[in-house]
Structure 1
């Protein structure tokens, strides 16, 4: 209800900011992605920091056969892939990890995404909150207690939201197996502190072998069962 229209925008750019890239986005967008998949539309990921996990997606009710993963390694590849997908307007939802995107690039994406039939989410680091952006909706998410997500909506259409949202966010695979007590870990008694031990020495540079690999070419993968 705090978002314009009472839910996620159906088009345009939304910025999701987090210090835990690749994790909180799924928990925040899970319900929306289930709706997109249920409608028979595809969810496209551009440059996620780690590969999608099909068993976890199934437990969250997200059909992995409708998930398209675009492997784009460099900032330029990720931005180009995102722009082409927005222009094609073929996604039920597009999630792009663009940690180094600039303000003028976000502005161009917002202009393109205004005519999309699905939402476009840009995942950026929490430090980007200090930067200006043309995205009409910007959120900062972080982990709270008891499987909660703490979300600050620091830019939206209409009056600013002054309070932090506390959203329940138990992953779908754990909802059925966690006892009510384990779903409220803050109520558990704290454990005794572990005894202090001497830290392991850090390895020297001589202990490491440097291996260079060629840059990956952008390619598109469709996850299957």
Structure 2
């Protein structure tokens, strides 16, 4: 019996396939479908509403021109409890002005009402949920997002896991306001279901250095420098103190980190020499 033979593909089958240009592809679709088409090299449009961040440079690179609602946004910082207020202050002022409440879950430091008043944030609309364990922080955050009873939720979850962030992202779809998760800078190396992730650091001249390393769109290759003078200092800083980098030597980078302080494990104190003791006693 002769073995079965399989016919070879004709040369027409091996011809290179031409991929149509994105514009040509969109032109052949219905208008409603073409309007909803998003390409990976374009800044995506949000499905839900957005709120302005208060920083024009940041709004320009965020999908939809602001902080997204109905979703989770991660804010990473080297030291928690400091830069988050400066970055989110304009948004919180906007939420409070609209009569909505802002809920804080597990902040590493108690809120400072006088400083919040300088930022235009009323303590009457600020709810602080004090928790003791990571499990309590996560549970409280999930209940608040599910209830959809506040204008914004800010939760400090340094030990949250990937599947837990994914569950919060699913719950946030039914939350009208933005949901922020504050995590350490080391979490940038971990995967996350949050559609928007930012890394905030201290910059020169009272500025914030912000890296948007995950968004719906092409990666942002540059670092944003956002002016962020604390409200209590804005009225008392002199022009020279508003730009302290001008006082640095010209050969030193303005955004260079300070030299680390040497670590001292122990200190040895020796007694004075016997001759020195005798001289003092003789006097």
With the shorter chain as reference, the TM-score category is: 0.7 to 0.9
With the length of structure 2 as denominator, give the TM-score of the two structures.
0.67
Aligned to 1:69: 128
- 1:14-49 alpha-carbon deviations (Å, 9 max, x no partner): 000001100000000010000000000000000000
**How many Å apart are 1:158 and its aligned residue?**
1.1
Aligned to 1:60: 119
Q: Is the strand fraction higher in 1 or 2?
A: 1
Q: Find the residue that maps to 1:139 and give its secondary structure.
A: strand
Q: Find the residue that maps to 1:6 and give its secondary structure.
A: coil
**Following superposition of structure 1 onto structure 2, how do residues 201-220 of structure 1 map, counting pairs within 5 Å?**
none
**How many Å apart are 1:11 and its aligned residue?**
2.4
**How many Å apart are 1:200 and its aligned residue?**
9.5
Aligned to 1:45: 104
**Following superposition of structure 1 onto structure 2, how do residues 153-192 of structure 1 map, counting pairs within 5 Å?**
153-189=212-248
- 1:49-82 alpha-carbon deviations (Å, 9 max, x no partner): 0000000000111111100000011010000000
Aligned to 2:257: none
Taking the aligned partners of 1:20 and 1:39, their CA distance within structure 2 comes to 30
With the length of structure 1 as denominator, give the TM-score of the two structures.
0.84
Aligned to 1:120: 179
**How many Å apart are 1:180 and its aligned residue?**
1.5
- 1:115-156 alpha-carbon deviations (Å, 9 max, x no partner): 211000000000000000000000000001110100000000
Q: Which consecutive aligned stretches of 4+ in structure 1 deviate over 6 angstroms post-superposition?
A: none
Taking the aligned partners of 1:169 and 1:126, their CA distance within structure 2 comes to 20
Match of 1:17 among 76, 79, 91: 76
Match of 2:144 among 82, 85, 102: 85
The CA RMSD over aligned residues, in Å, is 1.7
Structure showing greater Rg: 2
Taking the aligned partners of 1:175 and 1:73, their CA distance within structure 2 comes to 35
Taking the aligned partners of 2:180 and 2:265, their CA distance within structure 1 comes to 41
Aligned to 1:138: 197
**How many Å apart are 1:166 and its aligned residue?**
0.4
**How many Å apart are 1:10 and its aligned residue?**
2.1
Taking the aligned partners of 1:94 and 1:137, their CA distance within structure 2 comes to 15
Taking the aligned partners of 1:99 and 1:24, their CA distance within structure 2 comes to 15
| Structure 1 spans left out of the alignment, 5+ residues | 191-198, 203-225
Taking the aligned partners of 1:189 and 1:135, their CA distance within structure 2 comes to 39
Taking the aligned partners of 2:155 and 2:107, their CA distance within structure 1 comes to 7
Q: Find the residue that maps to 1:162 and give its secondary structure.
A: coil
**How many Å apart are 1:163 and its aligned residue?**
0.5
